[in-house]
Amino acid sequence: MDSRTVGNNGRMSADSAHRPHDQMTIEEYVAAMPQGMGALNDRMGIQLHEVSAERVVGTMPVEGNTQPFGLLHGGASVVLAETLGSVGSYAHAAPDKVAVGVDINATHHRAATSGTVTGVATAIHLGRTSACYEVVITDERGKRVCTSRITCALIPAERVG
């Protein structure tokens, strides 16, 4: 699969043929969101590489996202996890609903001090009113840096401004 295409085989999800997002590139998908990836994600350098309701892959540089001791800030890992889970939830719910995070937790396993971390969000539950993902963040050596779980409420799109 082209890593710049949304979803499996170029689709957001197996049942998304009726959605306008169908067969969009990741850039087109992001551009279709009201504020793109959002200012925080842009500032943190988060990039998407694969998007489907079932799985989302993204990266983030360690540099610029560290705490005072030069280690990847735990909050930065949580931002990456929430971004990936929210994008997957939106891929599942769009166009009628949007995803809003309602619960997130994270366990930090080891420090990352340089390079890029990769997050892989895997769907645990894809429902009518909520979606839940496990997000595993690894360093460039493939070592697990953080494990997170995010739950998003899926609310009618007309409820958000």
Annotated active-site residue 158? The verdict is no
Strands (E) across the chain are located at 47-51, 55-61, 97-108, 116-126, 130-138, 144-156
Q: Give the integer Cα–Cα distance in Å for 79 and 43.
A: 11
Distance of CA 30 to the CA centre of its chain: 12
- Among candidate residues 27, 28, 50, 82, the one labeled active-site is 82
Under 8 Å between Cβ of 137 and 148: yes
Give the residue numbers annotated as catalytic, written as ranges: 82
